[in-house]
Amino acid sequence: MAAPNPFANVRWIWKNGELVEFEKATVHVLTHALHYGSGVFEGIRCYRTPDGPAVFRLPEHLRRLALSAKIYRMELPFSIAQIRDAIVDTIRGNGFEACYIRPLVFRGFGSMGVNPLRSPVEVVIAAWPWGKYLGDEALAQGVDVCVSSWRRPSSSTLPSMAKATGNYLNSQLIKMEAVTTGFVEGIALDAGGYVSEGSGENLFLVQDGVLMTPPLSASLLPGITRDAIITLARDFGIKVREQVIPRGMLYTCDELFFTGTAAEITPVRSVDHIPVGAGRPGEITLRLAAEFMALVSGKLPDRHGWLYPVSMAAAAPARQAAATSSAAGPPTAPAILEALEAVEISHTAETAAELVAAGRGAAGAAESEG
């Protein structure tokens, strides 16, 4: 039985400033990115909540997109505000209450050859329904994975900090090796032989009640869901360590799970046919997964300001109202985006902490003016 087509209900794709029909969202065969992997992108989720669709951590995703483009010297032809509004327009145009969102910045048709600087930078945004990335039963049962023979390249070879299209050739090798040998996913080691991440997910393990994850120096993408799980673990008083993890700990840890926009939180049941812990999702894994899903679905208050309501984005009065929330709490996603609009994000070196502080300041200023 053929799998359902996830793109069957996609009517519109945003391309270079306008929504175009799905069938017309095409590029030239000599597009630079097709030949040389010259593109950067994001994977973002929009969740169905009681208050309507809401995008998870939109400011952080847009910041990472801009910084990825900066690393590859790609001048964004649209502002952060324009890309934000385009994402909202794409969701609304297709009538989605929940979806996966893929903004892509790439070098278009201009010239051939390795030098990308003579090819124009284009932007497209697509959205489509996407369920559980590693299977519908993954959260309840866990998945079986292997340690890949393919390693993540050194950061001096390819910058893992950038979510670049070319980086995913390595991910494809990891994924294909896993699925063709009977596993759901593969875990890559870094150039030094220490644990890095999955083909498209970050990785956490639990040992004696301590949550551990490899450091950014292990050639991994600084995941936005990864950061969220670290935050939630600290909310619960769980000790968190970012540390070098030897391969052997994959076999001896009590719990193991993936995180990512597509994967969300996916427990690992076995590694190389060796059961993880009791061979089923562990207590800390399930607790963090339950909290995460309750927050993104709006069943719990958005205490960290992670949800960006789609209905709010198009109307300035609604954004201003959101910014008047208490400055004592975390800045809302709209408040952080207002702060992002005020800076040239693609060519500055502000830290995430500075942006959060700017968002909090924007919220406080709105409150004092109101």
Asked if residue 323 lies in contact with residue 31, where contact means CB atoms within 8 angstroms, the answer is no
Centroid of chain to Cα 61: 7
Asked if residue 248 lies in contact with residue 86, where contact means CB atoms within 8 angstroms, the answer is no
Asked if residue 147 lies in contact with residue 189, where contact means CB atoms within 8 angstroms, the answer is yes
Distance CA 332, CA 313 (A): 12
**Could you tell me the two tokens for 29?**
């065969």
Distance CA 141, CA 131 (A): 16
Give me the residues paired with residue 206 across strands.
211, 255
Annotation says 163 is catalytic: yes
Asked if residue 231 lies in contact with residue 291, where contact means CB atoms within 8 angstroms, the answer is no
- The CB density around residue 352, as the number of other CB atoms within 10 Å, is 15
- Polymer length of the chain: 370
Distance CA 349, CA 355 (A): 11
Q: How far is CA 272 from CA 144, 184, 275, in A?
A: 8, 11, 8
- The CB density around residue 177, as the number of other CB atoms within 10 Å, is 16
Set 70, 163, 175, 239: catalytic member: 163
Distance CA 205, CA 268 (A): 9
Residues noted as catalytic:
163
